[in-house]
Structure formats: C-alpha cells, structure tokens
Amino acid sequence: MKKVTVFFSLLLLGIVISSFSKDKKVSNTTYSFSKETSSVPTEKESFSKNFNIPFVGNSFNGFKEAVAFKESQGNYNEVNTLGYLGKYQFGKSTLKRFKIYNTQYFLKTPKLQEEAFIALCSVNKWILRKDIKRSIGKEINGIKVTESGILAAAHLAGAGNVKKYLRSNGKSRFKDAYGSSVQNYLQQFSGYDTSFIEANKKPVL
C-alpha cells in the first residue's frame, strides 16, 4: 500500500512539473504581427499614370485634374467618338493653334498634353480678361461666377460661347454633343485657384 501511495505521489508530481514546463515555454514565445497600413495618394502621386482619380483640392492642380476627370477620366490615350484627343479632349483645330500636328505623338506624350492645357487656359484667360473682371462674383441663373468656372467653360465651349453666355446674363446657352453646357461647367468647376495662369495671347509650348 505504501508503495502504491509513493507511486501515485511521484506520478502527480511529474504531471505538475510537465504542466509548469509547458506554461513556461508558452510564456517565453514571442509573436510578430505584420502591421497593415493604408494611405491615400499625395498630390504628386495623383498625377502619376498609376492613379486615375483627381487630386481633391482647390489648387490649380486640383482644377486641371478635375477637368481631366470630367473630360476623359484622366486618360492620356482617350479618343472620343467625335475625335477629341487625350486627357483634356483637345480638338485637332485647337492643337494646330499650338503647332501640334502629329496627333499620335500628342497622345503618347503626357508632358505635351499638360503643356497644351496650360497654354489653352492662358489664351482663354487673355480672350476673356474683360469678361472675367466684369463677371467674377456675380450670380447668373443662381450660379456664382468664378474665374475657374469661366476657364473650364471656355475649355468646353470655346471663349466665344462663354462671352455670349456672360454678356447675355445666361440667356445665350451652349451645349456640346454630349449635353454638357457652359452653365454646367461654370457651376461644377467653381472656386478653384487659377491665379497660376497668366493671360497670354500667344503662349509658346
């Protein structure tokens, strides 16, 4: 009987020691967790070809990316059903104004497209300089007129049609083949900072 008692005592002690040893091993184990991070694109990254979303902001970069997104969803290679080209949907006649004749080269050259957009804004700002001074801050058909809205509308419809709209107090309307209007653009692109653009009758690319 005494031997049996000793045997069970030793067995119980062995179980306790074994359990303690396992706990110790677990407590000394280290675990590493991979930290997941997420980020939004910076202003610089938003102009990379890897991003198709416009930079959100009221800077000039925000303005041109918003226009580009409206025109082509920011696609430099886009050609629409009417033959308008690139990220900002230029017509061939407008490109000729800037001595750009090779449309395939134009489509393959993002830098040239960006320069052409700035040049067109400069020309339109020069053509509309008097109307900009007279109209900024006014309300036409419930829309507050801003310089950025005027420049965006001129990109859509041409400076001449924007003049007609402003000088007729919104009575002269223009819509393109897809239904976009001067009034739509005045509203949608209102409030951006386009002071970066200098009015220039003959900008050089």
Distance between CA atoms of 197 and 118, rounded to whole angstroms? 7
> What pLDDT, in 10s, does the model give residues 49-84?
334 444 558 999 999 999 999 999 999 999 999 999
**Residue 144: strand, helix, or coil:** strand
Size of the chain, expressed as the number of residues it contains: 205
Q: What is the mean pLDDT of the chain?
A: 82
Give the helix/strand (H/E) hosting 143: strand 143-144
With 90 as the cut, is the pLDDT of residue 39 above it?
A: no
pTM of the model: 0.72
Query: End-to-end alpha-carbon separation of the chain, Å?
Result: 107
Domains of the chain with bracketed CATH: 45-188 (1.10.530)
> What pLDDT, in 10s, does the model give residues 144-177?
999 999 999 999 999 999 999 999 999 998 988 8
Q: Which CA distances in Å does 139 have to 83, 130, 144?
A: 34, 17, 4
Distance between CA atoms of 64 and 43, rounded to whole angstroms? 12
